[in-house]
Structures are given as structure tokens and as C-alpha cells.
Structure 1
Amino acid sequence: MSRTVLTPDGIHPAPGFSHVTIAPPGTTVYIAGQMAIAPDFSVVGGDDLGQQTAAAMRNVKLAMDAAGLTWDDVVRRTIYTTAPTEFGVITAAIEEVQGSDRHPSQTIVGISGLAIAGALIEIEVTGVVPA
């Protein structure tokens, strides 16, 4: 059983995210923020936000695989980025990597910088492995 997503009446449409996500019973898994960082700590994607977002999402997927999560098990996503108004670019890259336009509840936070010089985005997720 995967998550259920809702858009309550009276709230604006949710482009690239869902307002409400209901998790099934199970084990909660917290994936630390992932950036577009290769194993040698080099930044993947240069100064291209779309490429960095896709690379960060691929790192998220590696962590999810280790925990036994699928994209449908993700109930919350938080994005920290130096370009928060570029949510269209971010959403397109996320959808490309996850292979769908089904999004969990999400927050995008604008920041002045990240722990790795040149990194533009960090993505963390919370998921539930069904019972």
C-alpha cells in the first residue's frame, strides 16, 4: 500500500508537490539531504540547476534503495536551494529521475549557500516502508 495524496478544497493547485500526504502504517525512514555530489566530492552538473537537481535525486534514490523505499513510499520532501523561484526547473528534473509526476508533500527553502562550494540544491526525503 502506498501513500495517499490530497489537494483540499480551497487551497491553490500544487504544481510539483502535494499539499497533504497520508502515510500507510509501517516503518518511517529519514533520508539525509543529498546534493549533486560524486563519490570524490566533486559537484555534478556545474552551475546547471536542472542537472544538479537530477544528480541529487539520483543520490536520494541510492539511499532509498538501501532502505527499501520506492518513490511511492516517499511522504515528505524538503528542498534547500539557492534558486527557490526556479521550481519549474527543479520539478522537471525531479519528474525525469522519479519517472512520474506523483509528488509527496514538499517545501522549498531558499538559502544563501550549502556545505559544498558550488552546490545549488540539497534534497531530503522521509518515507514509510509499508508494514
Structure 2
Amino acid sequence: MSQTLEVKRYNPSEWTKGVFTEIITVNGPGKTIYLAGVGAEDETAPAGAFAPIRHLGDPYEQCRYSYDKIKRALAAHGGTLADVVKQVVYVTDIRYQAPVAKCRREAYGGGPIPINTFLVVSGLAIQGMLLEIDVTAVVPK
């Protein structure tokens, strides 16, 4: 017998409807996937070294590359962006909000945007990184 997850999305604030989800509840058996700080680090860098950053100076392209990595990581564990229930986006400049929001809309397509926190920070782990994205997803077992 297949077990399913019941995912419910709530927006108590009218202004958030269609922009992001404020509350998500998940009931039922499932696997939770946590992706930490996905950014535009070049995946082909050798082990033990800081990876160079792709798309230096371009927050939109760094975002697109980050979501590509997120999609592949989720797929490797049986998930998709549709399974994401929460994400936190860290940027180093508030001026990146518009290109990152555009990138996020494109990444999720017509699917629901998960609970989302957007933070401006003074720096990230590797020089040249303009953003990082933490993702939490829940998939049925």
C-alpha cells in the first residue's frame, strides 16, 4: 500500500497570495531533504580546494546555476522543486532582489513558491558569491 504525504499551504495575509507561501504543514510518512547553502561554486573544482565561482558579478546567472544544482541534488534523492517546503535566500546586496525573484519564478515555473525568507548578509563563504540558497524538501517514502 502506497503512503502519501498531505501538504497544505496557507496564506493568512492577502498580500502574500501568489507571492510566497507563509505556512506549510506536512502530514504523513516522508523523507526530509535539507540542502545547505547552494551557490554558484564550480562543481568541477578539485577536492579540498575552495571552488571558483561561476558567473562572477551576475546575480541572475548565479541564481540560475544554483537552482540547477538544487534540482539535480533533489532528483538524486527522489525529489523535485515541487517538494520544497521552505527556502532561505541569502544575498550580499539588496539590489539583487529583483533578478533573484525573477530567477526564482522561472525555477518554480507554475508550481507553488515555498515558504521563503530573503536575507541580505555582509558576505558569503567564498569571495565572489552573490547568493546562497538553503532548501528543505519533503518527499513521500
TM-score, length of structure 1 as denominator length: 0.86
Determine the C-alpha separation between the residues in 2 that align with 1:5 and 1:38.
34
1:33 maps onto 2:37 in alignment: yes
Q: State the Cα deviation string for residues 103-130 of structure 1 (Å, max 9, x = none).
A: 0001011101111110000001001112
Given that residues 82 and 108 in structure 2 are in contact (C-alpha distance below 8 angstroms), is that contact kept between their aligned partners in structure 1? Answer: no
Given that residues 20 and 113 in structure 2 are in contact (C-alpha distance below 8 angstroms), is that contact kept between their aligned partners in structure 1? Answer: yes
1:103 maps onto 2:107 in alignment: no
Q: State the Cα deviation string for residues 30-67 of structure 1 (Å, max 9, x = none).
A: 11110011122221222111111111111111211111
1:91 maps onto 2:93 in alignment: no
Unaligned 5+ segments in structure 2 are: 46-50
Q: Which amino acid aligns with 1:28?
A: T
Counterparts in 2 of 1:14 and 1:111: CA distance versus 1, 3 Å: farther
Given that residues 84 and 108 in structure 1 are in contact (C-alpha distance below 8 angstroms), is that contact kept between their aligned partners in structure 2? Answer: no
1:46 maps onto 2:56 in alignment: yes
How big is the alpha-carbon RMSD for the aligned residues of Structure 1 and Structure 2? 2.0
Determine the C-alpha separation between the residues in 1 that align with 2:11 and 2:135.
20
Alignment map for 1:1-131 (pairs within 5 Å)? 1=5, 3-8=7-12, 10=13, 12-13=15-16, 16-25=19-28, 26-39=30-43, 40=45, 41-84=51-94, 86-100=96-110, 102-131=112-141
SS at match of 2:15: coil
Unaligned 5+ segments in structure 1 are: none
Determine the C-alpha separation between the residues in 2 that align with 1:48 and 1:33.
18
Identical residues among aligned pairs (%): 29
User: Which stretch has the larger CA shift, 81-90 or 43-52?
Assistant: 81-90
Given that residues 77 and 126 in structure 1 are in contact (C-alpha distance below 8 angstroms), is that contact kept between their aligned partners in structure 2? Answer: yes
Given that residues 78 and 107 in structure 1 are in contact (C-alpha distance below 8 angstroms), is that contact kept between their aligned partners in structure 2? Answer: yes
Counterparts in 2 of 1:110 and 1:46: CA distance versus 1, 3 Å: same
Count of aligned pairs: 130
Measure how far apart 1:92 and its partner are.
1.1
Determine the C-alpha separation between the residues in 2 that align with 1:91 and 1:16.
10
